Structure 1
Amino acid sequence: MHVTRSSTTEREAKLDAVHEQLVAAVGALTTDADWRRALEFASRFTSRSFSNTMLIYVQHAAAFEAGTVPEPVPTYVAGYRQWQSLGRQVRRGQHGYVIVAPVTQRLVATNPATGPWRRLEPGERAASGETQRSRLVGVRPATVFDVSQTDGDPLPEPPMPQLLVGQAPDGLWDGLAQQVAERGFQVERVPDAVTIGGANGLTDYRARSVFVRDDMDDAARVKTLAHELGHVMLHGPDNPDAVQHRGIAEVEAESVALMVGAAHGLDTSTYTVPYVTTWASSVEGKTPVDVVIETADRVRKAAVTILDRLDTVQVGNGEPPGLRTATRQPPAAPVASQRVPARSGADL
């Protein structure tokens, strides 16, 4: 496909505008409560990067203030054609939310260890004996829409966590403990905080042990175990960032626990996450906004890894139920007079 200079300039201008919006959104996170709310929101949209969840959040909030969507928080977001595949149509006059999508190249090689790697042309398939991989070559602006901006077939209702105060979801402790064990650590329950120096939990990297105090309710125990699993995954002695910036370890571990808890419907209002900007400004060579985004992406990656391996009832990842198995053929593209683009958000 031929790309003109004007279309490239338009794309770059849109990406610049999206970046400015992202910087403003992250810069507005000025307290630990702001950080907690951002992570709680991200826990409901784990299929998206942290940057894209922030972009969706601020654009949906603006749409709510303008009166074009009925609720202040989005529920499910998807691209234009993805909604069509589910039998739903973006309503005339609705503006989608611009996010950033990856642009990749498909490469093949007969010997992946030595190369050379050859780029596949559009529609071309790897030949017999060739190994294929994808390489990120850039980003592009893309558009998604909330379900409240669409009409059509009803979506299936997925099961949702139903918890009492202090209760932990069925199977969550065992699932977290299994992941701790798979990383070579042993989980030990101790009688009280005095045993481990006044803490709720403790990770001993030398002894390869994770300790959790037993005199707490179920919800507090699984929250603490998720916190310590975050330490196991992110903060071993070989992690130079955790050593150089002492605040990073507790921020990230508690943030992982918060996302895991929020994804299971647990009350996270009491989670004590020290806001990341208390140390972000001290990282040389990076702006505080860059550090916040990088931290959030590390947290998200760890939390998603944990959540994907749990056999528990969770709140969902922001994708419309049934999207990945949808087989419905999309109807014709909208007429030119509509404000919604015909190909926005495809294949996100």
Structure 2
Amino acid sequence: MVRVDWRAGQVSRRDEDRAEKLEQMQEQLTGAVEALVSSADWRRAMAFAARFRSRSFNNTLLIWAQHLAAFEQGRVPEPVPSYVAGFKQWRTLGRAVRSGEPGYRIYAPITVRMASSTPDDAASWRRLAPGEKQRPGEVVRRRAARMKPAYVWDVSLTSGAELPSRPAPRLLDGAAPHGLWEGLTGLVEERGFTVQLSSVGQLDGANGLTDHLTRTVSVREDMDAAARVKTLAHELGHVMMHSRDDPDVAQHRGIKEVEAESVALMVGAAHGLDTSDYTVPYVATWATRVPDTPAVDVVKATGERVRRTAVAILDALPTEQVGNGDPPGLALEPTAGVTVSAPAALPERHDAQQRIPATGPVL
């Protein structure tokens, strides 16, 4: 008698279905990134990412593209989502996803347990089998082995209990968010730099300057408070992401300015600052200049690097900030200890003396 394991067929079909969905998501993500490469929407994308900064840059773009499609189909009332969460998460808040709404596909990690007795040695980690215990002296961490599709829904696709209101920063024209200058200054000083206000003549017309040789960050003093704080956030981006030791300074200069300006944009957007006057170079001019790397990969790697830097800054600030896209009152499961591999990253690029001519992007 021949036994047929019907479960093996089920698993195979499930894996094939997952693979097909992941392929569709990759095509959608690539399309969204290609649109950024060939358009002037980088500033808008980064401001959007600031509102959904708890999610990876890839997932942010997937949410953006799918919500916009839902808006064009008349399924949602606004072109930009407000809060997104999973099916069960909405249930915990007393809301239910409307019948028939497919949701937005995003990437979610499938994690495995890894053990090592020498955790600083990357090659020493070994995967634990289900139920297997670590050996004496080993450290255990969870890492993402692969990705699977998961689903989230905007609040407009749900119904039920009212969500609690979340206060949003309110700013007067030209005013800086309360405590932001002091907070950014503290982060700069933690990294061994000194912040100083300088005249426009001292900066040769630029708004700011990061000098890694003298360990100083200079900001023009003859600007309103909002402009000064945005410039300081830009320079902090340089301090955290770049240094003077990069042999490819000239080649990657444009990308570094995009990174620093994008960090400033995200920090400003998270504090309710008007982002309409941010200057971000046309994406195609820098994304296509990295040798042996497709422009799509450059944009994805840059966006994720910017997001992580901005999130590190925002998490360290005691200031009042806009939400991160999670519904108010949602208790999130802890993710500490889970390592998720970043997108294919560019090599770290550094800077010597950050100076930009008056005709270039705002420093």
Alignment TM class, shorter chain as reference: 0.7 to 0.9
Q: 2:93 aligns with which of 69, 86, 89?
A: 86
Return 23-32 or 6-15, whichever deviates more: 23-32
Kept in 2: contact 1:163–1:266 (CA 8 A): yes
Q: 2:227 aligns with which of 206, 220, 237?
A: 220
Distance 1:319 1:41 in 2: 14
Structure-1 residue corresponding to 2:54? 47
Relative to 1, partners in 2 of residues 1:21 and 1:308: Cα closer, same or farther, differing over 3 Å? same
Determine whether 1:245 maps to 2:228: no
Distance 1:80 1:324 in 2: 14
Kept in 2: contact 1:32–1:274 (CA 8 A): no
Determine whether 1:167 maps to 2:163: no
Distance 2:248 2:238 in 1: 13
**Which residue type is aligned with residue 285 of structure 1?**
D
Structure-1 residue corresponding to 2:141? 133
Distance 2:134 2:92 in 1: 28
Distance 1:239 1:140 in 2: 37
Q: 1:187 aligns with which of 192, 195, 204?
A: 195
Percent identity of paired positions between Structure 1 and Structure 2 = 59
Structure 1 residue matching 2:23: 3-state secondary structure: helix
Q: 1:268 aligns with which of 269, 275, 279?
A: 275
Distance 1:86 1:311 in 2: 27
User: Deviation per CA, 1:70-102, whole angstroms, max 9, x where unpaired?
Assistant: 221101111111111222111111120011112
Structure 2 residue matching 1:160: 3-state secondary structure: coil
Structure 1 residue matching 2:196: 3-state secondary structure: strand
Distance 2:181 2:120 in 1: 41
Distance 1:152 1:144 in 2: 16
Structure 2 residue matching 1:107: 3-state secondary structure: strand
Structure-2 residue corresponding to 1:293? 300
What's the offset of the Cα at 1:322? 1.8
Relative to 1, partners in 2 of residues 1:32 and 1:214: Cα closer, same or farther, differing over 3 Å? farther
Relative to 1, partners in 2 of residues 1:69 and 1:32: Cα closer, same or farther, differing over 3 Å? closer
What's the offset of the Cα at 1:297? 0.9
Q: 1:315 aligns with which of 304, 318, 322?
A: 322
Relative to 1, partners in 2 of residues 1:156 and 1:128: Cα closer, same or farther, differing over 3 Å? farther
Relative to 1, partners in 2 of residues 1:62 and 1:203: Cα closer, same or farther, differing over 3 Å? same
Determine whether 1:23 maps to 2:30: yes
Structure 2: 5+ residue runs without aligned partners? 1-6, 334-363
Kept in 1: contact 2:111–2:143 (CA 8 A): yes
Kept in 1: contact 2:37–2:287 (CA 8 A): no
Structure 1: 5+ residue runs without aligned partners? 327-348
Structure 2 residue matching 1:244: 3-state secondary structure: coil
What's the offset of the Cα at 1:122? 4.9
What's the offset of the Cα at 1:282? 2.0
Kept in 2: contact 1:237–1:243 (CA 8 A): no
What's the offset of the Cα at 1:112? 3.5
Distance 1:31 1:164 in 2: 35
What's the offset of the Cα at 1:7? 1.3
Kept in 2: contact 1:102–1:138 (CA 8 A): yes
What's the offset of the Cα at 1:113? 5.2
Distance 1:88 1:273 in 2: 39
Return 61-70 or 174-183, whichever deviates more: 61-70
Relative to 1, partners in 2 of residues 1:110 and 1:219: Cα closer, same or farther, differing over 3 Å? same
Structure-1 residue corresponding to 2:17? 10
Structure 2 residue matching 1:211: 3-state secondary structure: strand
- Alignment: residue pair count: 325
Q: 1:176 aligns with which of 180, 184, 193?
A: 184
Distance 2:22 2:248 in 1: 30
What's the offset of the Cα at 1:63? 0.8
Structure-1 residue corresponding to 2:313? 306
Let me know the Cα RMSD of the aligned residues.
2.2
Relative to 1, partners in 2 of residues 1:184 and 1:74: Cα closer, same or farther, differing over 3 Å? same
Taking structure 2 as the reference length, what is the TM-score of the superposition?
0.84
Distance 1:164 1:269 in 2: 15
Distance 2:135 2:164 in 1: 40
**Which residue type is aligned with residue 303 of structure 1?**
A
Structure-1 residue corresponding to 2:262? 255
**Which residue type is aligned with residue 263 of structure 2?**
V
Relative to 1, partners in 2 of residues 1:241 and 1:154: Cα closer, same or farther, differing over 3 Å? farther
